[in-house]
Amino acid sequence: MEARSAEHLPAIDGPWQYEPKWDGFRCLAFKSGNAVELRAKSGKPLGRYFPEVIAFFRELKIAQFVIDGELVIETEGRFSFDALQMRLHPADNRIRKLSVETPARFIAFDLLADINGNASLDEPLRARRKALELLITKAGVSDRLDISPRTLDRKKAEKWLQAAGGETDGIVAKQLEDPYLPGERTMIKVKRIRTADCVVGGFRYASKKREVGSLLLGLYDAEGMLNHVGFTSNMPAGERPRLTQQLEKLRSSPGFTGKAPGGPSRWSTDRSSEWEPLKPELVVEVRYDHVSGDRFRHGTGFVRWRPDKSPRQCTSEQIVQPSPGSSRISRGG
């Protein structure tokens, strides 16, 4: 189940449940007997990278469930996304070492199958939440498994939003009567800073040396075409030599299968046609202020790489804002 960005929390057409938006890896956890599996939003398996979470779920005195939640790692009293990224490492001994030094925690916020093995996707969120609370109660107090707090009070959610920026980066609003709809953007996410996950469809060299100067960003449309939507150029300077080598290995036409860089527009420069197409494999999160039409109005700010996201999850729906006064977000698209 996905979320669509909005600038404000919904004011009408509820009732709504508000939850913190955690700064971690979205994850589905499956258990059936001793078999435990963790899956990322992209569908890729995550269990290899988080053996301590697999072990914890396996030892739980609960035979079966499917829960939706977030993997987080706490370091020095704060959640660390960098610590999560360090887990995506090919060496098993390195992963085992980190799993002991910085163990991950699973924050659960939805239930797809209950402790009796009954699928609950068609149940309203109100019922799924009660079943999830029962599961957490049966699991007992643990530093490996939490349930995400929630509130039905919009004013309280606004306070949470104002405090976002540390362990959380916004608020997610869900309608209490909605079923669980996999892959559909029925939830609303509101961030203090607006961000989007984009595919790196190409890059430009810096003007004075053969080093990456900017990344060209793309989003998939409803027809599955990758359209150029803007650029980001403030990657950390120390990463640029290594990043340039990585990008050069990914060079491949066409880069963008829909709208491509180089056409005349207000964003064009003298060097607009000079760019290198890439295989659509890298995903980057960028910060932006405005969207004009179907692309970013200005250059965006580099936030971080997203190795946990599939490029195909980077759709234009992320930056489509609901019309003024609209409170119900259309499903799918």
Range scoring the smallest mean pLDDT among 145-154, 166-175, 182-191 = 166-175
pLDDT confidence of residue 65? 97
- 319: nearest Cα among 282, 289, 274, 298: 289
From CA 234, how far away is CA 244, in angstroms rounded?
14
For residue 333, the model assigns a pLDDT of 25
pLDDT in tens, 9-25: 987 767 999 999 988 99
Domain match, 183 and 220 both: no
Tell me the pLDDT tens digit for each residue of 206-233. Answer: 988 899 999 999 999 999 999 999 999 9
pLDDT band at 326 (very low <50, low <70, confident <90, very high): very low
Sign (positive or negative) of CA dihedral 199, 253, 229, 322: negative
Question: What 8-state DSSP symbol labels residue 239?
Answer: G
Average pLDDT taken over every residue of the chain: 88
Look at the block and give the residue holding tokens 């640029």.
Answer: 240
Q: Are residues 20 and 137 in the same domain?
A: yes
CB 198 within 8 A of CB 217: yes
List of E strands, the chain: 2-6, 16-22, 25-32, 35-40, 64-75, 78-79, 104-113, 145-147, 168-175, 185-190, 195-205, 212-220, 226-232, 276-277, 283-287, 291-292, 295-296, 301-305
> With pLDDT > 70 as the criterion, what percentage of the chain qualifies?
91
| 12/133 same-domain check | yes
The two tokens of residue 319 are 């930056």
Among residues 205, 227, 214, 198, the alpha carbon closest in space to that of 287 is found at 198
User: What separation in angstroms does the CA of 193 have from each of 5, 23, 125, 253, 301?
Assistant: 11, 13, 27, 33, 11
Phi, psi of 301 (to 5 degrees): -100, 130
DSSP, res 41: T
Of the ranges 143-152, 159-168, 172-181, 307-316, which one carries the lowest mean pLDDT score? Answer: 159-168
Residue 182 lies in a domain: yes
Q: Is 107 helix (H, G, I), strand (E, B) or coil?
A: strand
Asked whether residue 163 carries a pLDDT value surpassing 50, the answer given is: yes
Whether 168 has a pLDDT exceeding 80, the answer reads no
In CATH, what number is assigned to the domain containing residue 82? 3.30.470.30
The verdict on 227 and 285 lying in the same domain is yes
More confident residue, 288 or 71: 71
Alpha-carbon gap, residue 255 to 275, rounded angstroms: 10
* Separation between Cα atoms, residue 285 and residue 297, nearest integer Å: 16
Decide: 284 and 239 in contact? Cβ < 8 Å.
no
| CATH number, domain containing residue 255 | 2.40.50.140
Is residue 88 within 8 A of residue 129, CB to CB? The reply is: no
Q: What is the reported pLDDT for 165?
A: 59
Q: What is the pLDDT of residues 114-154, one digit of tens each?
A: 999 899 999 999 999 999 999 999 998 788 999 999 999 99
Same domain, 147 and 201: no
The residue from 21, 31, 191, 309 that is catalytic is 21
The total number of structural domains in the chain stands at 2
The reply to whether 98 and 221 lie within a common domain is no
Q: What is the pLDDT of residue 324?
A: 35
Q: Does a structural domain hold residue 331?
A: no
- Provide the residue range defining the domain that includes 184: 2-190
Q: 250-254 contacts: CB < 8 A, separation 24 or more?
A: 250/278, 250/279, 250/281, 250/282, 251/276, 251/277, 251/278, 251/279, 252/277, 252/278, 252/279, 253/277
Question: Which comes out higher in pLDDT, residue 274 or 278?
Answer: 278
| 250 and 284 in a common domain | yes
- Is residue 331 scored above 70 in pLDDT? no
CA 157 – CA 5 distance, rounded (Å): 16
**21 is known as an active-site residue:** yes
Closest CA to 25 of 105, 133, 103, 143: 105
